[in-house]
Each structure stands twice: as structure tokens, then as C-alpha cells.
Amino acid sequence: MALENKTHQLIEEVKLFIQYSVPENELQSAVALVDRYRNDAFIMRLFREYYSSLPEAREEAVVRIARLIDRQGVHLFVVSTTAFSYLYAVSADKTLLLGEYRKEVNAGVLSFFGFGSHEEFLKVCPSIEDLEEYVESEKELCAVCGVPEGEYHLLGCTVEICPWCEGQLSNCNCRFDQLKVDDIEDEEQLEKFIDLLTAKGRIPYQKTQAPAYPGTSSGLDDSEST
């Protein structure tokens, strides 16, 4: 329930930004596109980022969204207006404008997605006309870490269920019990726990798993995973 309210709030926010950033004749279609993706928290965050800080201050409505690639819960989306296309990275906690689509991208971003060079990256970037419009997948994404249904959450995700106690993995005490320690102090212990967890069998994301909103603070998130 809390999550629904949160998304609802986000949609209203996006629509408000649209009122201030889009010429009147594009208003209706801009809002319609937002409504079309209303169940997709990632796209809502993308819209909010776009409309709250218009790239190059160009006042244009989004006409199309395409999804390029995903890696470890980070998604590359192409946001198109009638005249321009922009590349955005969206993860569970961040939405970032990377620049105009098919233009030079930060090397760190490229290497995160496994590309050695801009040329290599361009090979997976279809021309704007060939970009396939993003259709909300039947697979729902975890609202917190963004993995699709059936895949493992990113470690530390507050939605992941503990295979030992069936509680919230990021919050329960099983990691200490399993490692027989009072505290996880280093990377080595964390890795050992991941091994134990993997051996036990992690529970992949199912859309019936409700995110722990509000109060998403969690042990793994706040300390051990850094």
C-alpha cells in the first residue's frame, strides 16, 4: 500500500513538472505517455529527472522511451523528443543523464557496462529510428533494486527474503548466526556469507514480495556492503 502511494505521488509530481516544461500543444500527449507507464517506478523516476531538469533547457515533451541494456540493476534508457534523444542511466536509487544518445559517454559508465570504447558501445546503439519502444515488461522489476522477476536481488536489497528465517534478509540476524560472529567487519566475512547464502539457495524476486516501505534502512545497505 505504501508503495502504491509513493508511486502515485511520483506520478503527480511528474505531471506538475510537465505543466511547467512543455508547450501547451504537447501537454496532452506528454501526460498520456506518463499514464501509459504509470506502473513502472523506473520510468516514473526517469520522467521526473527529465522534466525536472530538461536537458539543455529544451522545452520538449518526451515522445518515446526505449530501453537499451541492463546490468546489475542499472538500466540504460533512451528518452526521445521529436528533435532529440538522450541517454539515461536508471538504477533503484539514481537517475542520471549521460548525454545525447550516440554521443560520447563517460568512460567509467562504458566500462561498467563492459564496453572498451565508444565505438564498441555504438554497436549496440541502434539509430534513433530503429530504437524499439520500451514496452512495460510483463516481468515486474523489484521496486527497490530493479532486477526483473525470477532473478536474484542485488545484495543488500531490502526486498530479498532470507532463506533461513524467511524474514527480511537485509535485516535479520541470520548472517551473524551463519558466520557465528557478532558483527561483519570485513569484505572476507561478507564474501563468506554470500557463499553460505548461495549454497543455501537465494530466493529470487517475485512480485508478491512487498518492499519494506517506509523505513528502508537496513544493516546490509548501510554498512557491510560498502
Which residues are at the interface with Zn ion (CB under 5 A)? Answer: 142, 144-145, 153, 157, 159, 162, 164-165, 167, 172, 174
Q: How far is the CB of 93 from Zn ion (least distance, A)?
A: 12
Q: How far is the CB of 139 from Zn ion (least distance, A)?
A: 13
Q: How far is the CB of 142 from Zn ion (least distance, A)?
A: 3
- Residue 62: all three cell numbers together: 518526451
**Considering beta carbons, is residue 87 or 174 the nearer one to Zn ion?**
174
- Pairing mode, strands 95-100 and 74-80: unpaired
**Considering beta carbons, is residue 150 or 167 the nearer one to Zn ion?**
167
| Phi, psi angle pair for 66, to nearest 5° | -130, 150
**Considering beta carbons, is residue 110 or 172 the nearer one to Zn ion?**
172
**Considering beta carbons, is residue 41 or 43 the nearer one to Zn ion?**
41
**Considering beta carbons, is residue 130 or 138 the nearer one to Zn ion?**
138
Q: How far is the CB of 155 from Zn ion (least distance, A)?
A: 10
Q: How far is the CB of 45 from Zn ion (least distance, A)?
A: 15
**Considering beta carbons, is residue 76 or 161 the nearer one to Zn ion?**
161
Q: How far is the CB of 225 from Zn ion (least distance, A)?
A: 13
Q: Are the beta carbons of 206 and 142 closer than 8 angstroms?
A: no
